[in-house]
Amino acid sequence: MNDLIQVSDRLQVFGNLESNVRSYCRSFPAKFKRASGHQLWDAEGRSYIDFFAGAGALNYGHNPPEMKKKLIKYLVEDGISHSLDMATEAKERFLTRFNDVILKPRGLNYKIMFPGPTGTNSVESALKLARKVTGRQTIMSFTNAFHGMTLGALAVTGNKFKRSGAGVPLNHTLSMPYDGYMGRDVNSIDYIESFLKDSGSGISLPAAVIVETLQGEGGINAASDEWLIGLANLCQTYGMLLIVDDVQMGCGRTGTFFSFEHCGIVPDLVCMSKSIGGYGLPMALTLMKPELDLWEPGEHNGTFRGNNLAFITAAAALDYWESQAFSHEIEEKAELVCNALVEIVASVPELKGEVKGKGLMQGIAFEAGIAEKISALAFERGLILETSGTDSEVIKIMPPLTIDRTGLVSGLQILKDCIFDIAVDVNLLVSHP
């Protein structure tokens, strides 16, 4: 009771003035003040380990010093802050670095678009371009997909609660089963193809397919390489463009810069945002094969396409990708996480947990209700982690990629303790119904 009052006191301004739509401040009821690396501190001086990483916007941790230094220098020197889509030195530097460090070494030849500073902006621009290039209207998306909150992106998002917020029918889209949706034995690619090749299936040939290689919001569902390759082939066969939404899975989250690198497919369009800005600053990219760049000047525009502070930190963030070292580091941490999760799940079989995910986007799926309890308890003990899935059934481990071994182990230990304590409660409940 005392605690509740304190919380409500602490967050009174938000309760009074901010719309009811606010959400994370309800799960994590602290007022944060300062952050560095994988740690945050609230106004009362309490520290927290961050296994949430700004929902993927803070892959390089909070306020990484090398970027911070460059950012302050740029501010001090009165570098351009806001430039619409005018040319600036900061933008030129980012473009050059992105091409040299990311695109060229991977043999990728993409034109780069700045579609507005958010993921949903990038998705909207990709859908527009796909429709323009093909002259078709339907976009195929997948069950449990998450692509954004503006009307075009929402129409390819699976979540019923979010969709109903639209207030209008969400059309011109086709929701198809993601890998594994029809059970592990059924290949949903075959099923999708039957709809495409059949002239009586009641659907229109899509302009494009939009897909996440791993569904972070939708329950940490990873598509297999075979499935992704099958999907890319389907796109080729039927003349649909392949759009990979790498907003959350890009920038190294799954181990490589792009999440699709390891399986060898080359999407026609790629959506990037979140950690692309490096420092958590709003920025987004849409990558497109040059032959698809049929935009007219200004056909898609926006005020904040030129967030030059983000260009500075984004360019600096690319330093991580100069060599393979960062990827190897992520993989090692990913293995550590995976082993820990497998061990936890094995230790509390009564919770029937299932380890999911890859890279530093992993989690454990439980029955409804458990994951939310874990998240709440962990927060009380100084660990921030979110749930995932439309029923919040998955506890999600998504630390900054730069987290050190100590931080990672500490966080996992808190998680383990919480799960064990909750298992005790569940067991008590079971034995004394």
Positions 102 through 131 that interact with a second copy (CB under 8 A): 111-114, 116-121, 124-125, 127-128, 130-131
Q: Could you give the 3-state DSSP secondary structure of residue 224?
A: coil
Pair 394, 386: CB distance under 8 Å: no
Applying CB under 8 A, which of residues 239, 294, 339, 343 lies at the interface with a second copy? 294
Q: Is 166 in the site for a second copy (CB under 8 A)?
A: yes
Applying CB under 8 A, which of residues 6, 46, 92, 409 lies at the interface with a second copy? 92
Strand bridging mode 394-397 / 387-388: antiparallel
Applying CB under 8 A, which of residues 38, 91, 333, 373 lies at the interface with a second copy? 91
Q: C-alpha angle with apex 283: 220 to 398, nearest 5 degrees?
A: 25
Applying CB under 8 A, which of residues 49, 101, 102, 155 lies at the interface with a second copy? 155
Q: Which stretch binds a second copy (CB under 8 A): 95-103, 234-242, 257-265, 367-375?
A: 95-103
- If the CB atoms of residues 160 and 184 are measured against a second copy, the closer one turns out to be 160
To the nearest whole angstrom, how small is the minimum distance from the Cβ of residue 223 to a second copy?
15
Give the C-alpha separation, 203 to 145, whole Å: 20
Applying the rule CB under 8 A, the residues between 208 and 227 that interact with a second copy are 218-219
Applying the rule CB under 8 A, the residues between 186 and 205 that interact with a second copy are 186, 191, 194-195, 198-204
User: Measured in Å, how far apart are the chain's first and last C-alpha atoms?
Assistant: 26
Applying CB under 8 A, which of residues 6, 8, 224, 303 lies at the interface with a second copy? 303
Applying the rule CB under 8 A, the residues between 13 and 32 that interact with a second copy are 13-14, 17-26, 28-32
Pair 249, 361: CB distance under 8 Å: yes
- What are the CB-based long-range contacts (under 8 Å, 24+) for 335-339? 336/405, 336/408, 336/409, 336/412, 337/362, 337/397, 337/408, 337/412, 338/362
Applying CB under 8 A, which of residues 49, 101, 102, 145 lies at the interface with a second copy? 145
Query: Which parts of 104-182 are beta strand (E)?
Result: 111-113, 139-142, 173-176
Pair 215, 221: CB distance under 8 Å: yes
Give the C-alpha separation, 330 to 334, whole Å: 6
Applying CB under 8 A, which of residues 8, 96, 224, 406 lies at the interface with a second copy? 96
Residue 339 contacts by C-beta under 8 Å, 6 or more apart in sequence? none
Locate 106 and state its tokens. Answer: 């991977």
Q: Is 330 in the site for a second copy (CB under 8 A)?
A: no
Name the amino acid, one letter, at 51: F
* Site residue total, a second copy (CB under 8 A): 148
Applying the rule CB under 8 A, the residues between 29 and 88 that interact with a second copy are 29-36, 40, 43, 54-58, 62-63, 68, 71-72, 75-88
Q: Is 430 in the site for a second copy (CB under 8 A)?
A: no
Q: Which stretch binds a second copy (CB under 8 A): 163-171, 228-236, 320-328, 361-369?
A: 163-171
For residue 23, the 8-state DSSP code is -
Applying the rule CB under 8 A, the residues between 333 and 392 that interact with a second copy are 389-391
Q: Is 432 in the site for a second copy (CB under 8 A)?
A: no
